[in-house]
Protein backbone atom coordinates (compact mmCIF):
# COMPACT_ATOMS: atom_id res chain seq x y z
CA UNK A 1 0.00 0.00 0.00
CA UNK A 2 1.26 3.47 -0.90
CA UNK A 3 2.25 5.66 2.06
CA UNK A 4 0.18 8.82 2.35
CA UNK A 5 2.22 11.95 2.96
CA UNK A 6 -0.50 13.74 4.96
CA UNK A 7 -0.55 11.22 7.82
CA UNK A 8 2.10 10.23 10.33
CA UNK A 9 3.06 6.66 11.32
CA UNK A 10 0.03 6.45 13.61
CA UNK A 11 -2.39 7.63 10.90
CA UNK A 12 -2.85 11.12 12.36
CA UNK A 13 -3.09 14.23 10.20
CA UNK A 14 0.31 15.66 9.37
CA UNK A 15 1.43 18.67 7.38
CA UNK A 16 3.77 17.58 4.61
CA UNK A 17 7.38 18.73 4.98
CA UNK A 18 8.24 20.50 1.72
CA UNK A 19 11.57 21.80 3.05
CA UNK A 20 13.61 19.48 0.86
CA UNK A 21 11.71 20.21 -2.34
CA UNK A 22 13.10 22.54 -4.96
CA UNK A 23 11.42 25.76 -5.99
CA UNK A 24 9.27 25.40 -9.09
CA UNK A 25 7.03 27.66 -11.09
CA UNK A 26 3.48 26.53 -10.19
CA UNK A 27 0.14 27.24 -11.84
CA UNK A 28 -3.40 25.97 -11.36
CA UNK A 29 -6.64 26.77 -13.16
CA UNK A 30 -10.07 25.93 -11.74
CA UNK A 31 -13.64 26.54 -12.88
CA UNK A 32 -17.16 26.26 -11.48
CA UNK A 33 -20.70 27.47 -12.05
CA UNK A 34 -23.77 28.66 -10.23
CA UNK A 35 -27.13 28.24 -11.94
CA UNK A 36 -29.50 31.19 -11.68
CA UNK A 37 -33.05 32.07 -12.63
CA UNK A 38 -33.65 34.23 -15.69
CA UNK A 39 -34.73 37.04 -13.36
CA UNK A 40 -31.48 36.92 -11.38
CA UNK A 41 -29.40 36.78 -14.57
CA UNK A 42 -31.20 39.84 -15.91
CA UNK A 43 -30.76 41.75 -12.64
CA UNK A 44 -27.02 40.98 -12.65
CA UNK A 45 -26.76 42.03 -16.31
CA UNK A 46 -28.53 45.33 -15.53
CA UNK A 47 -26.52 45.79 -12.28
CA UNK A 48 -29.78 45.91 -10.32
CA UNK A 49 -29.02 43.42 -7.54
CA UNK A 50 -29.54 45.36 -4.31
CA UNK A 51 -26.20 44.30 -2.81
CA UNK A 52 -24.29 45.80 -5.75
CA UNK A 53 -22.16 44.74 -8.70
CA UNK A 54 -22.29 40.95 -8.32
CA UNK A 55 -19.51 40.00 -10.72
CA UNK A 56 -17.01 42.55 -9.40
CA UNK A 57 -17.68 41.77 -5.75
CA UNK A 58 -17.43 38.01 -6.44
CA UNK A 59 -14.17 38.53 -8.33
CA UNK A 60 -12.63 40.38 -5.38
CA UNK A 61 -13.95 37.75 -2.96
CA UNK A 62 -12.30 35.01 -5.04
CA UNK A 63 -8.97 36.81 -5.04
CA UNK A 64 -9.16 37.36 -1.28
CA UNK A 65 -10.10 33.72 -0.72
CA UNK A 66 -7.12 32.40 -2.67
CA UNK A 67 -4.84 34.45 -0.42
CA UNK A 68 -6.49 32.95 2.68
CA UNK A 69 -6.45 29.28 1.65
CA UNK A 70 -3.87 28.21 4.23
CA UNK A 71 -6.04 29.75 6.95
CA UNK A 72 -9.11 27.86 5.75
CA UNK A 73 -7.73 24.41 4.91
CA UNK A 74 -5.70 23.04 7.82
CA UNK A 75 -2.90 21.18 6.01
CA UNK A 76 -2.27 23.72 3.23
CA UNK A 77 1.01 25.60 3.28
CA UNK A 78 0.98 29.41 3.23
CA UNK A 79 2.27 30.47 -0.18
CA UNK A 80 3.74 33.61 -1.62
CA UNK A 81 1.38 33.95 -4.58
CA UNK A 82 2.63 35.80 -7.66
CA UNK A 83 -0.69 36.19 -9.49
CA UNK A 84 -4.37 35.49 -8.91
CA UNK A 85 -6.77 36.06 -11.77
CA UNK A 86 -10.47 35.42 -11.14
CA UNK A 87 -12.94 35.97 -13.96
CA UNK A 88 -16.70 35.69 -13.84
CA UNK A 89 -18.89 35.45 -16.88
CA UNK A 90 -22.64 35.69 -17.12
CA UNK A 91 -24.04 32.79 -19.18
CA UNK A 92 -27.53 31.74 -20.24
CA UNK A 93 -27.64 29.39 -17.23
CA UNK A 94 -26.02 31.61 -14.61
CA UNK A 95 -22.45 32.56 -13.76
CA UNK A 96 -19.22 30.74 -14.58
CA UNK A 97 -16.16 31.50 -12.46
CA UNK A 98 -12.59 30.67 -13.40
CA UNK A 99 -9.38 31.21 -11.47
CA UNK A 100 -5.75 31.14 -12.52
CA UNK A 101 -3.26 31.14 -9.65
CA UNK A 102 0.53 31.25 -9.96
CA UNK A 103 3.52 31.15 -7.67
CA UNK A 104 7.11 30.04 -7.43
CA UNK A 105 7.22 27.60 -4.55
CA UNK A 106 7.72 24.12 -3.21
CA UNK A 107 4.07 23.08 -3.37
CA UNK A 108 1.22 23.64 -5.80
CA UNK A 109 -1.55 26.21 -5.93
CA UNK A 110 -4.47 23.98 -6.88
CA UNK A 111 -6.20 24.45 -3.51
CA UNK A 112 -5.88 28.23 -3.91
CA UNK A 113 -7.44 28.05 -7.39
CA UNK A 114 -10.31 25.84 -6.17
CA UNK A 115 -10.87 28.06 -3.12
CA UNK A 116 -10.99 31.18 -5.30
CA UNK A 117 -13.69 29.67 -7.52
CA UNK A 118 -15.69 28.30 -4.59
CA UNK A 119 -15.78 31.59 -2.71
CA UNK A 120 -16.49 33.62 -5.86
CA UNK A 121 -19.52 31.40 -6.53
CA UNK A 122 -20.65 31.54 -2.90
CA UNK A 123 -20.48 35.33 -3.15
CA UNK A 124 -22.74 35.27 -6.21
CA UNK A 125 -25.10 33.04 -4.23
CA UNK A 126 -25.09 35.40 -1.24
CA UNK A 127 -25.72 38.46 -3.37
CA UNK A 128 -28.59 36.86 -5.30
CA UNK A 129 -30.32 34.82 -2.59
CA UNK A 130 -33.09 37.40 -2.10
CA UNK A 131 -34.06 37.05 -5.77
CA UNK A 132 -33.41 33.36 -6.50
CA UNK A 133 -34.19 30.60 -3.99
CA UNK A 134 -33.18 27.76 -6.36
CA UNK A 135 -29.55 28.51 -7.18
CA UNK A 136 -27.19 25.58 -7.46
CA UNK A 137 -23.41 25.72 -7.22
CA UNK A 138 -21.59 22.96 -9.04
CA UNK A 139 -19.08 21.64 -11.52
CA UNK A 140 -16.16 22.99 -9.49
CA UNK A 141 -13.06 21.30 -10.78
CA UNK A 142 -9.37 21.69 -11.38
CA UNK A 143 -8.77 22.19 -15.09
CA UNK A 144 -5.01 22.39 -15.12
CA UNK A 145 -2.05 21.97 -12.79
CA UNK A 146 1.43 22.82 -14.06
CA UNK A 147 4.83 22.82 -12.46
CA UNK A 148 8.12 23.57 -14.15
CA UNK A 149 11.65 24.05 -12.95
CA UNK A 150 12.85 27.55 -12.25
CA UNK A 151 15.98 28.35 -14.22
- Is pLDDT of 1 > 60? no
Per-residue pLDDT averaged across 69-83, rounded? 96
Q: Given 17, 53, 82, 126, which residue is catalytic? A: 126
The answer to whether residue 126 is catalytic is yes
- Asked, for residue 16, whether it belongs to a domain, the answer is no
Please state, in angstroms and as integers, the Cα–Cα distance from residue 30 to each residue in 10, 46, 142, 150, following that order.
34, 27, 4, 23
- Whole-number Å distance between alpha carbons of 125 and 94: 11
CA proximity to 135, closest of 148, 149, 124: 124
The pLDDT of residue 117 is: 98
62 assigned to some structural domain:
yes
| pLDDT value for 9 | 79
What pLDDT score was predicted for residue 17?
86
pLDDT at 4 over 60: no
Residue 94 burial (C-beta neighbours within 10 Å; 0-12, 13-18, 19+): buried
Q: What is the pLDDT of residues 38-65, one digit of tens each?
A: 999 999 999 999 999 999 999 999 999 9
69 domain residue, yes or no? yes
Q: Three-state SS for 127?
A: helix
Please report whether residue 2 resides in a domain: no
- What confidence category does residue 3 fall into, taking pLDDT thresholds of 50, 70 and 90? low
Of 37, 46, 66, nearest to 125 (Cα)?
Answer: 37
Residue 108 lies in a domain: yes
Give the range of the structural domain holding residue 86, as residue numbers without chain letter: 24-149
Residue 8 CA to its chain's centroid (Å):
28
For the chain, the residue count is: 151
Question: What tens digit of pLDDT does each residue of 110-137 get?
Answer: 999 999 999 999 999 999 999 999 999 9
pTM for this predicted structure:
0.93
14 part of a folded domain: no
Find out whether 5 and 18 touch, Cβ atoms under 8 Å. no
Does residue 116 lie within any of the structural domains? Answer: yes
Tally of domains within the chain: 1
Which of 3-12, 92-101, 120-129 is predicted with the least confidence, judged by mean pLDDT? 3-12
List alpha helices for 35-109, DSSP H: 38-45, 54-67, 69-72
Computed over every residue of the chain, the mean pLDDT equals 94
88 by Cβ neighbours in 10 Å (0-12 / 13-18 / 19+) ranks as buried
The answer to the question of residue 99 being in a domain is yes
Closest among 73, 89, 86, 84 to 34, alpha carbons compared = 89
- Residue 72: CATH number of its domain: 3.30.70.640
Amino acid sequence: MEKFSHVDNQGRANMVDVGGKKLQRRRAIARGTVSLSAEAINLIRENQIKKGDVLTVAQIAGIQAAKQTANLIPLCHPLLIDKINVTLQLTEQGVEAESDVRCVGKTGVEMEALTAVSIALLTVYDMCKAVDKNMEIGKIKLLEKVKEDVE
